[in-house]
Amino acid sequence: MRNSLAALVVAGSLVGAGAGVRAEIIDRILAVVDGAIILQSDVAVAMRLGLVPSAGAPDPASAALDNLIERQLMLSEVDRYAPPDPAEADVDRHVADIRSRAGAQFDAILLQSGIAVDQLRRDVRDNLRIEAYLQQRFGATQPTEEEILQYYRDHSATFSQNGVVRSFDNAHDVAKAALIGERRSATIRDWVAGLRRRANVNVLPR
């Protein structure tokens, strides 16, 4: 995401190296989060490369924008504490995964969105910094055995195999991991909601 305020509509051009392709980039600001802007191209590339969850939402573009707003809120919080940068090998691996998912369309997606690989690497690096911060701050709190058993009973259909519900002993570790994951996700949602209430978030009409 871009981090300085710009005109509402941004027009530019990009020359494709080697191919001599000239692509007009027409961009619009979709949201401003404490002065950091989120552009239409940010949403488009995030959706096309699968950088944010949006598939299956009634309005995928709105879901992607909302995820990018929350990402910016979290990134601002992370920057306050300046955690160590991830290893370049981890960044390389995640970029390679993104490239693999996009397949032959990878270069075209970046070109059409006006985003260079270096920018993608910075975004991936920031995502890894956010994840490391969340893990450090909201590390897994271990549930009691009684809580795991209750979760197993409340979600017994989840632990069925070939139409037969797995025994508690057999499903214990899976149930424990699922319970920890749900609690962590709920805690992070509450935290992000608090960040959003305190922030100046302006979503522009599309």
Mutual angle of helices 40-48 and 106-113, in 10-degree steps: 170
Query: Residue 55: its pLDDT value, please?
Result: 67
- In angstroms, rounded to a whole number, what is the distance separating the alpha carbons of residues 81 and 83? 6
Predicted TM-score of the model (pTM): 0.80
Query: Residue ranges of the domains in the chain?
Result: 1-137, 141-200
Asked if residues 33 and 192 have their Cβ atoms less than 8 Å apart, the reply is no
Per-residue pLDDT at 18? 41
pLDDT of 126: 95
158 secondary structure, DSSP code: G
Dist. CA 15–CA 169, nearest whole Å: 60
CATH 2.60.40 fits 1-137, yes or no: no
- Non-local (6+) Cβ contacts of 109 within 8 A are 45, 48, 49, 102
**Residues whose CB falls within 8 Å of the CB of residue 200, separated by 6 or more in sequence, listed in order:** 32, 33, 34, 35
CA–CA gap between residue 175 and residue 187 (Å, rounded): 18
pLDDT, averaged per 10 consecutive residues of the chain (206 residues), comes to: 42 38 67 95 92 82 95 94 90 97 94 90 95 88 94 92 88 95 94 96 90
